Amino acid sequence: MVDSLSSPYIHAATADNFNALVLENSHKGPVLAYFWSKGAGPCLRQYPLLDEIIHHYAGRVLLININADSEVIITKHWGIASVPTLKLFRNEKVVETLHGYQSREDLLKLLEPYVARDSDLALADAVQRYTEGKPAEAYEMIADAIVDDPVNHRLPLTMSKLLKHEGRFAEALKLLESLPENIRKNKEIEQFHGVLSFCVEADLTTDLDALVQQVEASPTDLNLRRQLGIRYVVQQNYEAALQQLVAIMEIEPGYQDNFAQKAMLRIFNILGKDSLLIGQYRPNLNRYIH
């Protein structure tokens, strides 16, 4: 049975250990959560294939089985409406979701972009050099790794994050936009591209607290609200940013060619479709989309 097999790469989750097995481990590498049921034939046919692929990766990805019949708290929290359902977690976020039976090819296509590659070792060395105060050397190492392994999206993604850390937003954005189309379409790349698009629009010369006070003093000044919303995104305070966008839409829906609606969609993409904030704020967006 799926819930009785023993493997260092495969575990069964309950409401008590889900956070430890899935969310915490997802900081170390990809974790594939498999929602299944004994009464569903596709689930029983799916498992042997999952077992084979997980052992093929030999620890570079974990498989966590969740019995949808008994673990109703978990399934309700993650919106599981049918089985089998696969959710791939990375850094506590759902990065991919698949419903129904999946072929070997589909499973490999799902996992391959997130499983550690040899070039990730070079990337780790480069990041270490960066933390040692050798940024030029780190950037050169990452650039060399990109040449050797151009399909590993984590290489340009990390370089762009380091550039962002230095406040070099335009350079980081240009790097991502120069990537081949298949790499640009990677979900992590698209999400970070969204973050950078806000960063390049941010006016960082004004103190955030001062900007808040300016908006409070002039609540109908939409240029101030726009800038405050952007600053909140840069600080990853997405709910506060969404609140500013809602206020803009309520005051003037068509402001700057529907800036608020477009910005809200960009934030939704950054958050990922499983974010609770999307469900909370989408009605506001729907109200003002023309």
Q: For the segment 131-143, what is each residue's pLDDT rounded down to a tens digit?
A: 999 999 999 999 9
Secondary structure element (H or E) that encloses residue 198, with its range: helix 187-199
pTM for this structure? 0.76
pLDDT for 4: 43
Q: For the segment 147-174, what is each residue's pLDDT rounded down to a tens digit?
A: 999 999 999 999 999 999 999 999 999 9
CATH code, 33 = 3.40.30.10
Q: How many domains does the chain have?
A: 3
On whether both 97 and 131 belong to a single domain, the answer is no
Residue with tokens 């009785």: 4
The answer on pLDDT for 22 being more than 50 is yes
Name 140's Cβ contacts closer than 8 Å, sequence gap at least 6: none
On whether both 63 and 130 belong to a single domain, the answer is no
Look up the domain containing 147 and give its range. 118-179
Q: With H, G, I as helix, E, B as strand and everything else as coil, classify residue 116.
A: coil
On whether both 232 and 282 belong to a single domain, the answer is yes
Last residue of a domain, one of 93, 111, 129: 111
In a domain, 192, yes or no: no
pLDDT for 5: 56
Q: With H, G, I as helix, E, B as strand and everything else as coil, classify residue 17.
A: coil
In a domain, 213, yes or no: yes
Last residue of a domain, one of 133, 161, 179: 179
The answer on pLDDT for 284 being more than 80 is yes
On whether both 126 and 92 belong to a single domain, the answer is no
On whether both 13 and 97 belong to a single domain, the answer is yes
On whether both 7 and 102 belong to a single domain, the answer is yes
Residue with tokens 């391959």: 112
pLDDT for 273: 80
**Residue 152 dihedral angles phi and psi, to the nearest 5°:** -85, 105
pLDDT for 1: 44
CATH code, 143 = 1.25.40
194, 263, 250: which is closest to 222 by C-alpha?
250
The region of weakest confidence among 115-119, 191-195, 233-237 is 115-119
